[in-house]
């Protein structure tokens, strides 16, 4: 697994990595308060070491990509944090959003895809943006499996974190 991940990361380090909702949320919550990672219901499956691994992965890429749908989902999830972490996380979100390349695809285009009923707006948007362009980093097994099946290079963060790859 580590060779597979390293190969993909090297292949895409100049092109970029498209990060899914939970990965972006982990990054923002960890950037706000590492101790909150294991206490917030939306990130409690992660550890502080996962956040540190994620930061190390991000440093290998010239571009970190997202979509408006991912950003909206993350914003809605941040809203579930208690204060003062909620306000602090939104401040960091506002600051760090400039580090992300946001790629827009109109919802009509996304909804017209044949997999829309199964995967929905955000995940179908990821398919549309990533195809032939970017590596995808997700913790969603269903999405990762589908992306790999259709030939989109994907790393499942849950697999990487098991090996502690850096």
Looking at residue 164, its pLDDT comes to 61
The Cα 111–Cα 159 span in angstroms is 30
Domain that holds residue 93: 1-163
The number of folded domains in the chain is: 1
Which pLDDT tens digit goes with each residue over 54-67? 999 999 999 999 99
> 138 pairs with which residues across the strands?
156
Residue numbers of the chain with a pLDDT score lower than 70: 1-2, 164-166
pTM: 0.94
The single residue listed with the structure tokens 């992306």 is 147
* Residue 166 confidence (pLDDT): 55
Residue 33 DSSP SS3: coil
For residue 8, the model assigns a pLDDT of 94
* CATH code: domain of residue 69: 3.40.50.1010
Cα(first)–Cα(last) distance of the chain, in Å?
A: 12
């Amino acid at each position: 697994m580590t060779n597979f991940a390293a190969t993909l990361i090297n292949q895409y380090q100049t092109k970029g990595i498209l990060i899914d909702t939970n990965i972006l949320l982990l990054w923002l919550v960890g950037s706000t308060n590492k101790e909150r990672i294991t206490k917030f219901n939306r990130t409690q499956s992660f550890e502080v070491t996962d956040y540190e691994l994620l930061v190390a992965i991000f440093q290998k890429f010239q571009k970190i990509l997202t979509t408006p749908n991912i950003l909206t989902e993350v914003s809605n999830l941040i809203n579930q944090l208690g204060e003062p972490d909620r306000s602090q996380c939104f401040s960091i979100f506002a600051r760090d959003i400039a580090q992300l390349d946001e790629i827009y695809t109109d919802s009509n285009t996304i909804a017209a895809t044949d997999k829309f009923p199964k995967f929905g707006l955000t995940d179908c948007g990821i398919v549309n943006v990533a195809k032939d362009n970017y590596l995808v980093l997700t913790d969603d097994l269903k999405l990762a499996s589908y992306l790999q099946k259709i030939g989109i290079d994907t790393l499942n963060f849950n697999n990487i974190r098991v090996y502690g790859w850096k």
